Structure 1
Amino acid sequence: MPKRTDLLVIGAGPYAYSAAACARANGIETHIVGHSMAFWQEQMPAEMFLRSGPDWHLDADGNYTFEAYFADREMRPEDFDPIPISVFIDYAEWFRQHMSLEVDERLVTDLTKPNGAFVATMDDGSTITAEKVVAVPGASYFANFPRWYTNVPSPLRSHTSELVSFENLAAARVVIIGGRQSAYEWAALLCDHGAEQVHVVHRHPTPQFAKVSWAFVNPYIDQTLAQRGWWRRLPASEQQRISGEFWRVGRLTLEPWLVPRLATKVVTSHPDCTVVDVTPEHQAVRLQLSDLSTLTADHVIFACGYKTDLSRIPYLHSVSHQVSTTDGFPDLTEGFETSLAGLHVIGFASTRDFGPFYGFTKGCPSSARIAVDELMRSAA
């Protein structure tokens, strides 16, 4: 294992793969650390499907794309609609192999910058020194919960990122808090595994179930590549308009292939509702809703998404006083660099400064290109 490298990529998921491959293709000595595709393999259900299609990929140069993977595997994309998560995981491994990316499976426990270079302390006590760092904090650090969630006894609650196996909830009464794709997909998975009751509680109206096109994102990604700092320079009203479009298509419209799996005798939606009171009972919990109804649950699942808070990243604690943040997000330059020179952050934590698209794999190739261009610019 190297003791020194030009670029250390912390993380081993899609954004990390894209950035590392792009950096290496541009002659930057790069070392990747982290568990390969850990979030996708360990914190997403194996029976899950993607909302995106084969046009979303990882290669900034556009060669080793998802479509190229299908062709190489002699598979027809139309036979995988929707795309099983296992297929994308296999594509990521195919991409890694074709790009000759070696992943150091150790984890970073601490990052410092004592004398102009970064020093990453690994979980085995060894260190790696790097001139630059690209950090890709996994979404699991940012699991979001309502304030009252601790009123539910710990054994009776899970975030969607924690509950990826459903056999233990056969014949159970389950309440899901949240009303977006993950909430209803977890409801479908619970039906698949024999749950007795599933109540889905959310603040907004019942979402539509309809086929949507994600092509509306393409021009925004193109603009981000064409104009450095495009998103941050937009008027607030235009950012809100685009975010609203993203919310309507990506959040309030859910995939139609869920509908046949949502058994009407099992799943009940509670739109325009919130939980106003929680009372633990013997091996169960009673939830009172704002519409005055009461639900009894054997388990409560929080499908409340993720909220960036850089202070939750353990390996950044030693440099946190040098990294400026706003509302938990790192303040990033037009090249994804933080206020700590040489430390770049891409992926979900970059969405405030680059737009909501960068919380999805659609943003992988463009973020890699922008970050690597910045690395090369600063090295020139």
Structure 2
Amino acid sequence: MSTARKDLLVIGAGPYAYSAAAYARDRGLDTTMVGRPMSFWRDQMPQDMYLRSGPDWHLDATGEHTFAAFFEDRGLDPADHDPIPIGLFLDHTDWFAERTGLAVDERMVEDLTKPDGVFVASMADGTTIEATSVLAAPGVGYFAQLPPWHDRVPEDRRAHTVDLVSFDDLAGARVAVIGGRQSAYEWAALLCDHGAERVDVVHRHPVPAFDKVSWRFVDAYVDQTLAQRGWWRALTADQRAGIAREFWEVGRLTLEHWLVPRLRPEVVHRHPETEVVDVAGDGPVTLTLSDGEVLDVDHVVFASGYRPDVARVPYLAGVRDRIDATDGFPDLSEGFETSLPGLYTVGFLATRDFGPFYGFTKGCPSAARIVVDEMLR
């Protein structure tokens, strides 16, 4: 049996979905959000990790129920929570949902179609939801990237960081971490915290810097995106490359200073400017590096990032042939609309057309304003 038709169906229940759904309701759209609330953050991030952002990054497109407002409401001093534990951010998202009256329908979408000008979402429980517009907000978990040789490591001895969130089973283990950006070194720190015997961090670039950085430079770019419709795509290729370099230098070449005391030198061994050239072994795994060093490890962790590919979002299979894409990114309008009228997407899949900051929670409020205003145009 089909439910009544909605103005907007938001598929996903992460930060971008929360922002957009709350703002859409605020603007008068009859909105349903489906998914497991903040499931990626709860289930695919370690409970004892920390955020790189501060209280100034929030979800509310109206600027009222912000992260800073949460701190004030709870009587918390930001200085006592620097860096911010992930659990505190999740408490804030629960608070945001309560304050905005945002409810999440925890049914899951299995398939999305648009047979007669109206979207029909087929749910896992056999029901359907009809909607005039759909906002897809898939998390990065769909887009984990792995090196070509990953399947030469036995399945029970390998994991991408997106899947490794508990470390107790690796106490006393020898672990190779493949990658050298924030997640690689943070997972190395977590492995130290949980008693790993040895951690080898292998990456093709030099050892990154560890320092206190400011993300304030992003504010001006988000303001420009709001002030000028299509601002990012109006930039020259050189201008976009320059901003991307700035973002890379702060967010990728420099890692958080608070990791350093946790990277125990007797445990963590770094292998900069090297890569794995051979893999052997069904029990303990032998990795041969490009500099000739051989590592015998019990487990391999791939901190190899994410690669966008709209075709990997399973619930979009029914409309995939109507979504134009380039290099895995859906081709989006200046209002986050795909080539299928009425279907929008935000977050990681929008970073090519809106800038790298839209892969982070910093972009949530502005993306919500732009996409909802586009629906109401």
Question: TM bucket by the smaller chain?
Answer: over 0.9
1:308 matched to 2:308? The reply is: yes
Counterpart in 2 of 1:141? 142
SS at match of 2:8: strand
CA distance in 1, matches of 2:5, 2:188: 47
After the TM superposition, which residues 66-105 of structure 1 pair with which residues of structure 2 at under 5 Å, given as runs?
Answer: 66-105=67-106
TM-score (norm 2): 0.99
Give the aligned partner of residue 40 of structure 1. 41
Alpha-carbon separation, structure 2, partners of 1:45 and 1:15: 20
Cα shift readout 1:258-313 (whole Å, capped 9, x = no counterpart): 101000000011111111111124x2111111111111110000001111111111
The match for 2:122 is: 121
1:372 aligns with 2:372: yes
Alpha-carbon contact 2:3-2:128 (below 8 Å) kept = no
Over aligned residues, Cα RMSD in angstroms? 0.8
Deviation at 1:93, TM superposition (A): 0.7
Does residue 151 (structure 1) correspond to residue 162 (structure 2)? The answer is no
Partner of 2:167: 166
Distance 1:23 1:361 in 2: 18
Q: Mind listing any 5+ residue stretches in structure 1 that lack a counterpart?
A: none
Instruction: Report the Cα offset of residue 200 of structure 1.
Output: 0.5
Residue equivalent to 2:23: 22
C-alpha distance in 1, partners of 2:236/2:364? 25
Alignment partner, residue 3 of structure 1: 4
Distance (whole Å) between structure 2 residues aligned to residue 101 and residue 35 of structure 1: 13
User: Equivalences for 1:181-220 in 2 at 5 Å?
Assistant: 181-220=182-221
Quote the residue 2:356 is aligned against.
356
- 2:238 aligned partner: 237
Using the alignment, how far apart are the partners of 1:290 and 1:238 within structure 2? 36
2-structure distance, mates of 1:292, 1:327: 35
1:158-214 deviation line (CA, Å, top 9, x unaligned) = 000100000000000000001011100100010011101100011111000000000
1:207-356 counterparts in 2 under 5 A? 207-281=208-282, 283-356=283-356
Aligned to 1:106: 107
Partner Cα separation in structure 1 for residue 156 and residue 18 of structure 2: 35
Q: Aligned partners of 2:338 and 2:237: how far apart in 1?
A: 22
Structure 1 CA distance for aligned equivalents of residues 277 and 243 of structure 2: 32
Distance across 1 between alignment mates of 2:310 and 2:105: 23
Q: Secondary structure at the match of 1:22?
A: helix
The answer to whether the 8 Å contact 1:3/1:127 transfers is: no
CA contact (8 A) 1:57 1:66 kept: yes
How far apart, CA to CA, are the structure 1 residues paired with 2:292 and 2:241?
34
SS at match of 1:277: strand
The 1-side partners of 2:37 and 2:217 are apart by: 30
**Structure 2: 5+ residue stretches without partners:** none
Partner AA of 2:359 in structure 1:
G
In 2, the alpha carbon distance for the partners of 1:201 and 1:238 equals 32
CA contact (8 A) 2:158 2:301 kept: yes
SS at match of 1:198: strand
**Does the Cα contact within 8 Å between 2:109 and 2:123 map onto a contact in 1?**
yes
Deviation, structure 1 residue 329? 0.6
Structure 1 residue 3: deviation in Å? 3.5
1:144 partner amino acid: Q
Residue 50 (str. 1) matches residue 51 (str. 2): yes
Residue aligned with 1:63, SS: coil
SS of 2:286's partner is strand
Counterpart Cα distance in 2 of 1:35 and 1:178: 30
Deviation track 1:55-104 (CA, whole Å, cap 9, x = no partner) reads 00000010000000000001111110000000000101100111101100
Is the partner of 1:147 in helix, strand or coil?
coil
Residues 117-175 of structure 1 show CA distances to partners (whole Å, capped at 9, x for unaligned) of 00000000110000000000111000011111111111110000100000000000000
Q: Following TM superposition, by how much is the alpha carbon of 1:326 offset from its aligned partner in structure 2, in angstroms? A: 0.4
Letter in 2 for 1:107: M
3-state SS of paired residue (2:195):
coil
Q: Secondary structure at the match of 1:269?
A: strand
Residue 343 of structure 1 aligns with an amino acid whose one-letter code is L
1:14-33 deviation per Cα after TM superposition (whole angstroms, max 9, x unaligned): 00000001100000000000
Structure 2 letter corresponding to 1:332: L
> Normalising to structure 1: TM-score of the pair?
0.98
Checking the alignment, whether the CA contact within 8 Å between 1:274 and 1:289 is kept in structure 2 is: yes
Task: Map Cα deviations across residues 218-239 of structure 1 (whole Å, 9 max, x no partner).
Answer: 1110111111111111111111
> For 1:318, what is the secondary structure of its paired residue?
coil
- Summarize deviations over 1:298-343 as a string: whole Å, max 9, x none: 0000001111111111110110000000000100000000000000
Cα deviation 1:354-378 (Å, max 9, x = unaligned): 000011000000000000110000x
Q: Match of 1:75, as an amino acid?
A: L
Query: Which amino acid in the other structure matches residue 231 of structure 1?
Result: W
Runs of at least 4 residues of structure 1 off by over 6 A? none
Structure 1 CA distance for aligned equivalents of residues 110 and 256 of structure 2: 39
> Aligned partners of 1:292, 1:239: CA distance in 2, in Å?
39
* 1:315 aligned partner, one-letter code: Y
Deviation at 1:2, TM superposition (A): 4.0
